[in-house]
Amino acid sequence: MKSDKLITPRSSAYLVERIGFSTLAILSFLLAVPIIGVILYIIIHGAPAISWEFLSRMPSDGMKAGGILPAIVGTFYLTLGTAIFSVPLGIAAAIYLSEYAPENRLTRIIRIAIINLAGIPSIVYGLFGLGLFVIFLKLGTSILAASLTLSIMTLPVIITTTEESLRAVPYAFRVVSTSLGTSRWQTIRRVVLPQAVPGILTGVILGLERAAGETAPILFTGATFFLPQLPNSPLDATMALPYHLFVISTQVPGMPIQIQYGTVLVLLVFVLGMNIVATVIRSRARARRQW
């Protein structure tokens, strides 16, 4: 077969195809290598910094020694706070769009609004959070203000992915459930939502992953340079891994490089760990799905 093609008049076309395919393969390979490289690089350089002390101690000596506990805890709090606001709201909004919204102008406006929310730069969210939560609502630079800011930023991710997984549930299930004398909400809660859970979870985690890694929205809403103790109320400011990394790598002269790499590694594990969890949930649900 192959050799046949080579002697047809159009063999040059096949040669082009071979060259084209190879070029694209090489390009994609060249894209993949740096990604793997970056991950390995961070692991190799960061691993030596990781110790129990590094993870469990407060920073000392102007952050040039000790651990990064408050940054880890802070990022955890911020992620949790973001989840508290954005998950219920995002899922409810997605349910509205998938199950209730009529096809009309208002719904189109909602969709445009969501696209806009998704596109607004994270630093602009920071400005907004400063204007609304920190100053207008007088929450101050706090975990609460930062979480609220991050929530609104995360909302479109959660809405979009949740709506997609709700729509993937076959419409026939809704008809069947309705025919058995159930209200719309009962059908959603008992049939549609359970089937969409893996997809929703994936979307939620991906949204929170983004929130956990963000710096710009918390710069003026909740992040602080250094705290002598862990925050003990939502109205306290907090350290956070991404902001900490930014600070120690750009603002503190003479910062030991080890600590920087260690911080990068911890942040990456935090964020990519969520990513991997999401991927696993998604692929397992796909394998198990009956429809």
- The answer for 51, left when phi > 0, alpha when psi is -120 to 50, beta otherwise, is beta
Compute the least distance from the CB of residue 286 to another protein, in Å: 12
Residue among 76 and 246 whose Cβ is closer to another protein: 246
**Quick one: which segment of 52-60, 65-73, 186-194, 231-239 binds another protein (CB under 8 A)?**
186-194
User: Which residues inside 104-143 make contact with another protein, applying CB under 8 A?
Assistant: 106, 109-128, 130-132, 135-136
Residue in 3, 4, 9, 180 binding another protein, rule: CB under 8 A: 180
Binding window for another protein (CB under 8 A); candidates: 30-38, 51-59, 62-70, 231-239: 30-38
For another protein, the binding residues in 138-167 under the rule CB under 8 A are 152, 155-156, 159, 167
State the nearest-atom distance from the C-beta of 87 to another protein, in Å.
11
Q: Is 211 exposed, middle or buried (0-12, 13-18, 19+ CB in 10 A)?
A: buried
Site residues (CB under 8 A) for another protein, limited to 209-238 = 209-210, 212-216, 219-220
Long-range contacts of residues 269-278, Cβ cutoff 8 Å, at least 24 apart:
270/72, 270/75, 270/212, 270/241, 271/209, 271/212, 271/213, 272/39, 274/205, 274/206, 274/208, 274/209, 274/212, 275/205, 275/206, 275/209, 277/205, 278/201, 278/202, 278/205, 278/206, 278/209
Minimum CB distance to another protein, residue 51 (Å): 21
Q: Is 14 a residue that touches another protein (CB under 8 A)? A: yes
